[in-house]
Amino acid sequence: MRRRADLALVLVTLIWGTTFTVVHTAVATFPPVALIFLRFALATLALGPLLWRRRRTQRLRRHGLLVGIGLGSLLFFGFATQTLGLALTSPARAGFITGLNVVLVPMFAWLWGERPGVQALLGVGLASVGLMVLTWGCGWAAFGCSLTGQQSGWHWGDSLILLCAAAFALHIVAVGRWGMGLPLVALNGVQLATVAMLAGGVTLMLPTVPWSQPTVWAAASFLGIIATALVFGLQLWAQRWVNAARTALIFALEPIFAALFAWWWIGDRPTTAVWVGGALMVAGILASEVPLSRPATQPFHAGS
């Protein structure tokens, strides 16, 4: 069972890695906020039958509803900035920068008096150096890094993705502080529905939306049903058998999968600086997370 759970988490991470390219391609011809609406509306509908079957054991009172709405608002901001950012930067860069949410968690937890340890600070340091290398290159010819090539320098899209990573980190901290003891399936349903309603409200203000694009509906179906509703359920099952350190190790593969899938699917070959910087960022993620145990926050890893 342990091996099956490991494979399930690798599959979860692989699916999350592919979403960067799927979103990047879809928003080239479709409004980002409308794509978020479709994704989370479909995810909420897909979760509906499970919520109905568990309606007696998964009830949320007023406090739980408020927590779910708050978590959904954070997710909406995170996915909005990520989706907008993917229209302006490459999937590989977005994958590595989004992965920084793991490193930012102990920093935000510090605001509530949870002082980060040495390992967390080491992770932040490695990830910061990696972000600089990914953005501007390392400047050392011996390592083959240069500022030339695709997507060198800092871009508005990178700033939006960094805001996304911050929102996802705040979401993880918020779950740990206010989501403890609440029914997970119902809480997940409320937060997904909140994202759908917020995105739907913004979509209504758009002048025109090309709803008839079949490729966008295919992308939204994959993102909503497979990469959101199904993957969250698979993750919840798998983490019953896999401890926190091993889970964090597997999740660190997400930005690598994102870069490789973008290279294979759309020919977006990352520069050497992106690979070197990304490797440092993944090292920072592992240094920050692997020795720690946060089982209460794991089921709501934001992914992508």
The residues near 117 (Cβ < 8 Å, ≥ 6 apart) are: 106
* pLDDT of 290 over the 70 cut: no
pLDDT of residue 146: 46
pLDDT of residue 147: 42
Q: Which residue has the higher pLDDT, 233 or 174?
A: 174
Q: Which two structure tokens, joined as six digits, stand for 156?
A: 């508005």
pLDDT of residue 258: 93
* Structural domain boundaries in the chain: 2-300
Q: Which residue has the higher pLDDT, 4 or 235?
A: 4
Within 10 Å of residue 4's Cβ, how many Cβ atoms? Answer: 11
pLDDT of residue 243: 66
Q: Which residue has the higher pLDDT, 7 or 132?
A: 7
198-213 pLDDT, tens digit per residue, is: 999 999 999 999 999 9
User: Whose structure tokens read 């909503």?
Assistant: 224
* pLDDT of 292 over the 90 cut: no
173-195 pLDDT, tens digit per residue, is: 888 788 777 887 888 889 999 99
93-108 pLDDT, tens digit per residue, is: 899 999 888 788 888 8
Q: Which residue has the higher pLDDT, 33 or 123?
A: 33
pLDDT of residue 196: 97
pLDDT of residue 175: 83
Handedness of CA 189, 114, 97, 30 (dihedral sign): positive
Task: Report which DSSP code applies to 270.
Answer: P
- Please tell me the pTM assigned to this model: 0.84
24-53 pLDDT, tens digit per residue, is: 999 999 999 999 999 999 999 998 888 888
Range with the lowest mean pLDDT among 25-39, 118-132, 211-225, 285-299?
Answer: 285-299
Q: For the residues 265-294, what does the mean pLDDT come to? A: 79
* pLDDT of 20 over the 50 cut: yes
pLDDT of residue 257: 93
* pLDDT of 272 over the 70 cut: yes
pLDDT of residue 113: 76
State the first-to-last Cα distance of the chain, in angstroms, to the nearest integer: 26
126-179 pLDDT, tens digit per residue, is: 888 888 887 766 544 434 444 444 445 567 888 999 999 999 989 888 887 887
* pLDDT of 59 over the 70 cut: yes
pLDDT of residue 291: 53
pLDDT of residue 294: 47
Q: Which residue has the higher pLDDT, 259 or 172?
A: 259
pLDDT of residue 270: 83
Mean pLDDT, the chain, as a whole number? 83
Task: Choose the most confident range, by mean pLDDT, from 5-9, 205-209, 292-296.
Answer: 205-209
